[in-house]
Amino acid sequence: MRANPRRDTKPEIALRSALHRRGLRFRKDLPIRLPERVVRPDVVFTRQRLAVFVDGCFWHCCPIHGNAPKTNTGYWGPKLQRNVDRDHAVNEQLRAAGWTVLRAWEHEQPQEVAKSVEGALRDLPTPAS
C-alpha cells in the first residue's frame, strides 16, 4: 500500500464524467497555493472558487468503511489520524482564502455527488469574465 492517496482513482474519474455529462467545466488536480501549503483538489471550479475532493474511505476514515486496520495500530492509528487532521486544516485554509470546499466519500454515487456540486455552484456568485 502506498503512503499517499493516488491520483485519478475510479471514484474521481466517475465523478468527473458525471460532471461532464451535466455540462460543467472544471479543472482537475489544479494546484491551489495557500499561505501554508499547496493543495490539489480533485476537481476545481476556478471562477466560483469551489474545490471538490473525493476522499478514499480508508485513507480519510469514512464513518462507514474507515475502520482502521486491526494489526499494527500503533502505525496506522496516528497515520490515519494525521490524514483526518490534515483534511480539516486544508478545509479551513481553503475557506480562509475564499474557497468553498465540498468533500465526497468514494462510496457515494457519482451522480449524487455531481448533483451536490451543481447545487453548490448555483449558490455561488460567478464573477463576470
Binding site for Zn ion (CB under 5 A): 57, 62, 64-65, 105, 107
- Considering the complex, state which of residue 49 and residue 106 has its C-beta at the smaller distance from Zn ion: 106
Beta bridge partners of 28: 43
- Considering the complex, state which of residue 26 and residue 105 has its C-beta at the smaller distance from Zn ion: 105
Least Å distance between CB 76 and Zn ion?
17
Least Å distance between CB 56 and Zn ion?
8
- Considering the complex, state which of residue 67 and residue 126 has its C-beta at the smaller distance from Zn ion: 67
CA angle 79, 80, 81 (to 5 degrees): 90
What does the DSSP 8-state code read for residue 65?
Answer: T
- Considering the complex, state which of residue 15 and residue 121 has its C-beta at the smaller distance from Zn ion: 15
The helix/strand/coil state of 101 is strand
| Element housing 115 (H / E) | helix 110-123
Beta bridge partners of 111: none
